[in-house]
Amino acid sequence: MATSGRFKFGEQQLGEACDPSGFECGPGLTCTNPNYDIEGVCVPEPAAGDQCLTDGACAPNLVCDWSSGTCVTGAAYGAPCSYAEPSNPVMGTEKVRCQVGLVCDTVTFECADPDCAGGSSCTVDAQCPVGTACLASVCGVLAQIGQPCTDLPLGPCVGGFCSNGTCVSGVCSGDTCFDGAGVGAVCSVDADCQPAAGLLCNAGSCTLVPVTSASCSSDQDCAAGSYCSLSGDGSGGCVPKKPAGALCDSYDECWGGCEVIFGQQRCFGSGPGDPMCHG
């Protein structure tokens, strides 16, 4: 039976025995056990052009090209890259892949740093590059009205929501999306708008119900869409909830909640009529 103690780190030569779970093979070599034996053998690392099914089948500085099934160096930083479905750019479906350590930006379609590219992981919109939103924990591009949409990665739509695979007009309030006229739509009576989503007809245009600045002692004293802001002497007034990304001190100040992002507490969530509908 082979044990990692039998072989010296990085000193086993071509054809010599090695531990498949260790790093005993010398430079340019890797330990393989094609017969699934406990003891492996040192062989040359896969080179560019060798066949692969996963990145693990290639050398550490290479990636597996899904289109050709071969190991490639990948595109450099700033170079063009692409996805099998450009309108649905899902990580893992790249046609032109990037070098190790880079990702294909879902907005620019160029190889970029994974920490500041569309397609990077996220929890709120404020963590994503400009022009993207946090969709199912991944930075992506919101679909326009009339464009195809799915739960992943496009999800929410600009100024509407995804219905039967297509972005439709409407307005979202909390976790509920209302099909129909949104903010700014032409109207003659309140029923032409979305009263349930906080919209009323004002001077022929659907607008959000104004939030009063009534005095308050708790949030229960304020209308929907507002919270009670208390001063040092205990007096308070109802003020509008803050938009996503705004600095906050408590959950009640925001539409969705208040959490620490990059060292500061910021709001997340969308209010009625917000163009970034996350319902």
Share of the chain above pLDDT 90, in %: 7
pLDDT at 71 over 80: yes
Least confident span in 47-51, 71-75, 187-191, 220-224: 220-224
The per-residue pLDDT for 279 is 30
CA distances from 18 to 15, 36, 121 (A): 9, 13, 37
pLDDT digits (tens, 9 = 90+) for 75-105: 999 899 998 877 767 778 889 999 998 888 8
How far is it, in rounded angstroms, from Cα 169 to Cα 181?
Answer: 7
For the chain, the structural domain boundaries read 82-140, 219-268
Average of per-residue pLDDT across 133-154? 64
How far is it, in rounded angstroms, from Cα 68 to Cα 109?
Answer: 20
Q: Is the dihedral of CA 60, 116, 132, 273 positive or negative?
A: positive
pTM: 0.43
Residue 176, CA atoms < 13 Å, CB-side half-sphere:
8
Average of per-residue pLDDT across 225-231? 81
pLDDT digits (tens, 9 = 90+) for 186-195: 788 877 776 6
- Please tell me which of 9-13, 167-171, 232-236 the model is most confident about, judged by mean pLDDT: 9-13
Maximum separation of any 2 CA atoms in the chain, in Å: 85
At position 48, the amino acid (one-letter code) is A
Q: Is the dihedral of CA 253, 258, 260, 261 positive or negative?
A: negative
Residue 115, CA atoms < 13 Å, CB-side half-sphere:
1
